[in-house]
Amino acid sequence: MILAKDTGGLNRRGLILLIYIFRRLLLMIPTFFGITLVSFVIINLAPGSPIEQKLQAIRFGSAGGGGDSGSSSGKANSGVNAEVIEALKKQYGFDKPVHVRYWIWLKNLSRLDFGESFTYQEPVLNVITSKFPVSLQFGITSLILTYLICIPLGMAKAVRAGSRFDVISGLFLYVSYAIPPLVLGIFLITFFAGGSYFSWFPVGMLYSDNYDSFSFTGKIVDRIHHFVLPLLCYMMGGFTELTMLMRNSMLDVVKQDYIRTARAKGLDERIVQYKHALRNALIPVATGLGGFFRVFLAGSLIVETMFQLDGIGLLSYKSILSRDYNVIMGMIFLSSVFLVIGRLFSDIVYVMIDPRIDFQ
């Protein structure tokens, strides 16, 4: 009878979970609609459309043939006739009102067709996925290493709160947190890769030119060799925050009455920490696990520029500068999808860690 009752409770909880997930998925539809609508309108109403940039390129091209600056300026102002402008508008789809273009974009979106990039002259999805190898590798690696290091380090700091280890490690964390990624990148390149002091690490690309000639172990070592410096810049931002969050959460948990009771029963300190305290201390940390889905579009303009990596961050920056509307909208949509799914995942993990919380 007890087993049947427990099984019924688990089935009911699973059904509630499915209903909750289904309801959240339905709520994603108006969320995506609102995000894409606002973004599409703002982007298309902003000055400096692809048409204007194309016209500017044509004018500069016609004015670049020589002559003085006055004649060049005159040609730049009158070098394109109305027929060329209308042809460009029709080519890029700007001959229709904004609401019509948005409806066309939505219909194409149902087929995962984000249009063609104005800059790269190929489908937007191909452009974005071509930048995945860089950002995805650094995003996943930094996320895994951050959690693997920060959770044990935060626990160690909480257990030794107030000790020399806690003070020195805390000082190091806060100093590293205060260093901007740009300054950190310059320091790493100058001292460890620029040749001024040491040339221990390479800069640029993900692997060496003769990568294919290496053995399997050699390829792994070569990848790690290229990953070290940019990965440090990727990780430093959230490293301190997660460590201190874990430390403070652990300190709050070990003060609870049930921890005192466990110790009073004579349980081993390791059991108290890892079995009783750790699970509840992970609850605030678990809310950040949804960031796993954001690593698919993770990118850092500063890191990718400094270390000569062609990733998502650099693509976003170039697309904004060139007013590549289709790429920008594709990035916004995919980022929104991963963000909403990540939050849903965080909620599910949150409830799995703390069974007292139920889906509503």
- The answer to whether 62 touches 75, Cβ cutoff 8 Å, is yes
Question: Residue 211 falls within a domain, yes or no?
Answer: yes
Q: Are 294 and 138 in contact (CB under 8 A)?
A: no
pLDDT at residue 3 greater than cutoff 70: no
How far is the C-alpha of 233 from the C-alpha of 183, rounded, in Å?
10
- Summarize the confidence of residues 13-32 as an average pLDDT: 81
| Domain annotation covers residue 36 | no
| 167 pLDDT tier (thresholds 50, 70, 90) | very high
- What's the whole-model pTM score? 0.74
In a domain, 329, yes or no: no
What confidence score (pLDDT) does residue 298 get? Answer: 59
Going by pLDDT thresholds of 50, 70 and 90, the confidence category of residue 1 is: very low
Length of the chain: 360
End-to-end CA distance of the chain: 28
Specify if 149 maps to a domain: yes
Query: What is the DSSP annotation of 143-185?
Result: HHHHHHHHHHHHHHHHHTTTSHHHHHHHHHHHHHHHS-HHHHH
HEC-encoded secondary structure of 195-220: CCCCCCCCCCCCCCCCHHHCCHHHHH
How confident is the model over 9-31, as a mean pLDDT? 77
Which pLDDT belongs to residue 74?
41
CATH number at residue 242: 1.10.3720.10
> Is position 195 within any domain?
yes
The band of 7, judged by pLDDT with boundaries at 50, 70 and 90, is low
Name residues whose C-beta falls within 8 Å of residue 198's C-beta, 6 or more positions apart in sequence.
191, 192
Please provide the average confidence, as pLDDT, over all residues in the chain. Answer: 78
Residue 164 to residue 28: CA distance in whole angstroms: 48
- Among residues 312, 295, 302, 317, which one has the least CA distance to residue 233? 302
Give me the percent of the chain exceeding a pLDDT of 70: 82
Range of the domain at 274: 133-310
User: What pLDDT sits at residue 100?
Assistant: 86
Which residues, 6+ apart, have CB-to-CB distance to 254 below 8 Å? 158, 273, 277
Q: Look at residue 245 and tell me if it is in a domain.
A: yes
Assigned domain for 7 exists: no
The total number of structural domains that make up the chain: 1
Q: Kindly indicate the confidence band of residue 75, based on its pLDDT and cuts at 50, 70 and 90.
A: very low
Residue 41's alpha-carbon distances to 103, 236, 307, in angstroms, are: 12, 36, 35
**Residue 244 token pair:** 């201190």
Tell me the β-bridge partners of 123: 116
Whether 157 is in a domain gets the answer: yes
Residue 168 pLDDT:
92
Distance CA 359, CA 33 (A): 25
Residues facing residue 116 across a β-bridge = 123
Confidence tier at 68 by pLDDT (50, 70, 90): very low
Of 161, 341, 303, 145, residue with least CA distance to 238: 145
